[in-house]
Amino acid sequence: MSDTLPGTTHPDNNNRPWWGLPCTVMPCFGARLVQEGNRLHYLADRAGIRGRFRDADAYHPDQAFPLLMKQLELMLT
């Protein structure tokens, strides 16, 4: 097992698993979505944030994620 994340120079924290593709941009948000028919289910236990968001930017994912989910679900219909 490597001590760094693939494609980055960031240390790999094996005590905290990361779901999804490695991200070379920090901070980054990763989430797992499961499709059931025309619906998407968000798996909170498979989501995480790497790095730190500035206080001014911390609320942006909270606003953008529900809109992104809705757009993705509309594309499934």
How much is the pTM?
A: 0.58
Which structure tokens are listed for 38? 């025309």
pLDDT tens for 10-49 read: 555 556 666 667 777 778 888 889 999 999 999 988 888 8
49/55 Cα distance (integer angstroms): 14
Q: Where are the beta strands (DSSP E) in 5-62?
A: 28-36, 39-50
More confidently predicted of 69 and 8? 69
Query: Could you give phi then psi for residue 70, rounded to 5 degrees?
Result: -65, -45
Question: 4 CB contacts (<8 Å, ≥6 apart)?
Answer: 10, 11, 12
The full set of domains in the chain, from first to last, is 1-77 (3.30.450.20)
